[in-house]
Structures are given as structure tokens and as C-alpha cells.
Structure 1
Amino acid sequence: MYDPTRLAALVAVAEAGSITRAAERLGYTPPALSQQLAKLEREAGAALLVRHPRGTRLTGAGELLLVRARRVLDELERARHELARLTGLRGGTLRLGTFPTAGIHLLPPALSAFHRAYPDVELAVADYDPPTGVHAVAAGDIDLALTHTYEPAEPVPLPSSVSLEPVLTEELVLVTSPGHVLSAEASRLPPAELAGQPLISMAPHHPARRGVEAALAAAGATPAVLVETPGYAVVCALVSAGLGVAVVPEMVARTTATPLGVRPLEPGTLRRTISVAHRTDEPAPAADAFRALLRGVFGRAARHG
């Protein structure tokens, strides 16, 4: 691998036309610069320079390496500037992925706090249905992704370069049409009382919800309407219209636009954990700052029990 310092020496000699003038430009003595160039020639395995009375010219091999050297040095300089801006959070772009519930109810206060603290960092937000946001982080398409997991559920392996930091855990609650007998009380409802109830089944074939749907089926709930895509707004609208009951995250139940009855379940073992996915194999000051703000805004990590 070529040393960037020696590549810079080759570029300087090509532009200055002599080792003496290039040395003055770089702050070397001519003998020291000659040593750098000799080492570069050994790395290249070819003569790169021809000395003559009026200065120095490049050989064919030198001209070929010069083109590549300029590209390498340009990229390194660009990276240096970008990292300097990002390290100081004075520029760059923070790319975020989110799913609808988090994008509407969790992301805005955190983004607002981040923008006040770091107004020079541009923000880009894109929708990613979990767990696709995790894979987008692993691929480098985005810097962070808000994602979720459900309990009960089979564990899903993470890409080796990605880690999940829990933001909050919420229970899943029963939602009914307004005035429904099951939501008339505030006490926790035993799942067994769902037996025979028409259930708006939420994405029964979606990996994240599969364990929850199995638990509801084991309690005796009877699927009445299957919602094949993970859209809680549709589920709540169907429940509000009296087509059945459903089990949704508490955040969804409390913020839905349609009128609903809400009741907690016992023993509270159906949960959704919202986490932020981030890379662990490279420094990311803006992403780290945003994760810190998430912890500060919500002040509670995922918890069990």
C-alpha cells in the first residue's frame, strides 16, 4: 500500500518540475524529499522520475501513478474536511429511519432538541418498516433507525455491525369500540376472557407480530378480520366501527384518531420495545449525539417486568 505522504511528494514534484522547488513547497530539504521518492519507487517497483539539468520529469509509470495519487489525495482531503465538520457537529447530515408510530410520536421532540443543539447538521428522515431499518443501518444507507420488537417472539439475529439500544418498552393493551363491555372496567383483563371474541388480527403473518398472534389464539380469541399489513390506523378504525377487538401498543391506543375503549391485559406479558439501531464498527458523532438526546428526552430505557 502506498504511503499518502510519498504520493503527495510525487504530486508536488510533478507540479513544481523539480525536487528542489517541491521540497520548498512541502517544507522538506531536497535530500529528505529524494529519500521519500526513492521509497515510493521501491514500493511501485518502477522508476517514476527522470532527473535532467533543468529539473525533473515523470516517466510513464510516474505519470500513471500521478493520476491515481491525485485521486487518492483528493479523497483523503475531502474525508478530512467532512470528519472535521462532523466531529464538531458543525455540518454533515444525520440520516434517520423510522416507522410510523415512532415517526409521529417519538421522533419530533428528539429531532427538535437535536436541531436546537446542532443547527448546522442537516436532517434526513425516511420510512422503514421494522426490521428493514436495521438492515439499512448495516448497509450504511442510514445512520440510525428506530425499530421495534415484540414479546412474545422468536429472537431475530442482528447484523454483526449493528446494535440495538432500547428507548422504551410499552405494554400491548386491548382496544374495543366505545362502550364495549370488555372496556367498561379499568382493571386488568385476563386473556382467557378474550375467548370467543372477534379479533381484528394484526398482520398475523408478519414476523414481529407472529408470537403475539399465537398468544391471542391460545387465549381463545377468534380472528374475525385479518389485516395483512402492519397498519395500526386501519386496525383501530375497524375496531372503532365495531368489527371486533384488537391488541395494540399502548402508545397507539392513546393517540389514535378514532374513538376507542382501552383496557390493560394481565399479566402484562405482551409488550413492544422500541429501540434505536446504530452501527458499532465506526465513529459517528452526530448519531451518538442523537442517541444521547433520545435517552434524555424519554428518560427511560426498555424494561421488563
Structure 2
Amino acid sequence: MFDSRHIKTFHEVVRAGSYSAAARALGYTQPAITQQMKALERDVGTPLFIRVGRGMRLTEAGEALSRHATVILDSMSAAQQQMGALTRLRSGRVRVCAFPSASATIIPEAMARLAAGHPGVRVDLLENEPPESLQRVVRGECDITLAFTYPGLHEHVPDELVEIPLLEDQLTVLLPAGHPLARRRAVQLADLAEERWIAGCLRCRANLLHECAELGFAPDIAFTTDDNLVVQSLVAEGLGVAMIPALVLNFLCHRKVTGRPLQPASRRQISAYVLREHLRIPATALVLDELRTVAANKVGC
């Protein structure tokens, strides 16, 4: 293994043409240059220079090492510049995985703030519902994941992950605009016991079943989809009602539906999850800061 300092000194000796000239250029003494070149020759296992009168020239091994030295020093310089850019947040890439309603609300605002302040930091956006999204962090497929948990379900979070709470998102019921309960300011879940339901992802469906069971009824689930636009369309056509998070109210697309908060209040916890060692990576920490800022201003907080 070569010492990078010796390679740099060797490169300067070749450029300057002598030990004494290299010593002046580098601010070393000539004996120090001589010692470094002897050490490098020991590492190589063969002489690098031969004396020719008062001068010196490279051996065949020296010629070969000289060609490599230029490449090595250029690569080291490029690496130092890239590391400096990463630590000073002029560049970097962060892979973020999020569930659909976060991708439509929290993520765009956070990425816009990031682009304005740090245009060299790029974000790759992936999409998955929990718990699969949590496993993607553990497997190294993303750096940050946004996921949600319901307090009554006690979902498992892998021990390797650090949780950064972002906001509590209130649950609401989505009703056809002409539904009799749409005139109320809030709706009791028990009042919807006879309705047909449109359920969401597996975790949301499990929470719906749990909350209804707590009130003594089993919901009649007619459709299941994790596509928020499909949920809205089904409700708009009077095919059922749905329990949705308040985040979804930010992008309601149908005038034929309306959202009403549930009473008593029911919420889900939205958090970011990372591997502990990733908290020390500047670009990752910056993205987390932007997510916190945006989440703090969201409805449902």
C-alpha cells in the first residue's frame, strides 16, 4: 500500500527534476525528500531513480509509477472536492420513500424549499405504504421513509430505525355531498354503522376494523383501494363512505364529496424513519429539517 504523501512528493520530484528542487517547492528539507523516496522504493520493491552524472532519470518502474501518480493525485483531488461539496451541502443525493398522501402534500413543499436553498442536493422519490416502506430503509433501498402508525394497532418498528415524529394527522370521514350527515360539523363513527365502506391500504383497513370493533360493529367493506383518487370517485358516486386522513383533504378533486372530522377525534402519527448512522450525513439531515418545517404547518398537526 502506497503512502499518498510519498506519491505526491514523488510526483513533484519528477516534475522539478531533482530532490533539491522538489524540497524547495514543497517546503521540505532535502534529507526529508530523500527519506520519503527511499520509503517509497521500499514499498515498490525496486529503485525508481538512477543517477546520470549530476542529474537523475527514472527507471522503468519509475516511469510506470509516474504515469499512475498523475491519475492517483487527480483522483484524490476530485475526491476531496466532492467530499467538500457534500459536507458543505453543494451536492448530494437522498432517497426518500413516502406513502401517497405524504407524497402529494408534505414532499412537494419540502422539496421546493430544498431546491431553493440547496439546488445541488437531489432527492429520489420512491413510494410505498408501511410496513413495506420501513423495510426498504432497513434493506438500504432508501435513506429516509415517511410512514404512519395508528395508536390502537401497536405496529412494530424495526429496532434499527430512529423515529422522528412529524405530525399527528386527524382522521375524517369522506361522504357524498348529499349525504344527510354532511350537514353536520363533525360525525360520530357509530352513526355510520349501517353504511357501506371503501377501505384503504392494509394498515388503514386494519385501523378501520379496530375502531369500529371498539364501538361494537363490523363495517360493511364494499371496496378496498389505496388510491386516494379512486376512493373519492367511489364516494362521489354514492357507493360508500371512507375514513381518510386530513392530509387528503388538501387535494380533494370532487365537488360531489365532503370531509367531516370524526368525534371523538381519531389520529394517526406520521413520522420519518432513518438508520441512526444516516443522521450524521449532512444531506440527509437537511432533508429531515425541511420535512419537519413543512409538517409543522400542515392541517392535522
Deviations 1:41-88 (A, max 9, x none): 44x36235233233142454x566656655443333112212333444
Is 1:212 the counterpart of 2:207? The answer is: yes
Partner of 1:235: 231
Structure 1: gaps spanning 5 or more residues? none
Distance 1:80 1:139 in 2: 29
Is 1:148 the counterpart of 2:144? The answer is: no
SS at match of 2:272: strand
For this pair of structures, how many residues does the alignment match? 290
Deviations 1:104-138 (A, max 9, x none): 322343334334434x5354443332456666667
| Counterpart pick for 1:292 among 289, 292, 301 | 289
Partner of 2:166: 167
Give 1:265's aligned amino acid: L
The 10-residue stretch of structure 1 (63-72 or 106-115) with the greater mean CA deviation from structure 2 = 63-72
Structure 1 residue 273 displacement after superposition: 0.7
Distance 2:291 2:201 in 1: 28
Partner of 2:6: 6
Partner of 2:56: 55
Q: Is the 2:106–2:294 contact (alpha carbons within 8 Å) kept by the matching residues of 1?
A: no
| Counterpart pick for 2:246 among 243, 247, 250 | 250
Partner of 1:75: 75
Q: Where do residues 1-305 of structure 1 align in structure 2 (5 Å cutoff)?
A: 1-42=1-42, 44=43, 46-53=45-52, 54-58=55-59, 60=61, 69-89=69-89, 91-95=90-94, 97=96, 98-118=98-118, 120-121=119-120, 123-130=122-129, 145=144, 147-151=146-150, 152-157=153-158, 160=160, 163-190=162-189, 192-204=190-202, 208-209=203-204, 211-215=206-210, 218=213, 219-227=217-225, 230-258=226-254, 259-275=256-272, 277=274, 280-281=277-278, 283-299=280-296
Distance 1:22 1:35 in 2: 13
How has the CA–CA distance of structure 1 residues 67 and 284 changed in structure 2, closer, same or farther, with 3 Å as cutoff? farther
Distance 2:186 2:41 in 1: 81
Distance 1:116 1:187 in 2: 39
How has the CA–CA distance of structure 1 residues 299 and 64 changed in structure 2, closer, same or farther, with 3 Å as cutoff? same
Deviations 1:154-194 (A, max 9, x none): 21316x4x64422222022221211223444233514x444
TM-score normalised by L of structure 2: 0.76
TM-score normalised by L of structure 1: 0.75
Distance 1:232 1:193 in 2: 23
Structure 1 residue 199 displacement after superposition: 1.6
How has the CA–CA distance of structure 1 residues 154 and 122 changed in structure 2, closer, same or farther, with 3 Å as cutoff? closer
Structure 2: gaps spanning 5 or more residues? none
Distance 2:207 2:59 in 1: 70
Could you say which structure has the larger radius of gyration? Answer: 2
Distance 2:136 2:10 in 1: 40
Q: Is the 1:148–1:275 contact (alpha carbons within 8 Å) kept by the matching residues of 2?
A: yes
Deviations 1:190-211 (A, max 9, x none): 4x4443432212133xxx4464
Distance 2:102 2:206 in 1: 21
SS at match of 1:35: helix
Structure 1 residue 18 displacement after superposition: 3.8
Q: Provide the alpha-carbon RMSD of the alignment.
A: 3.6
Distance 1:213 1:12 in 2: 72
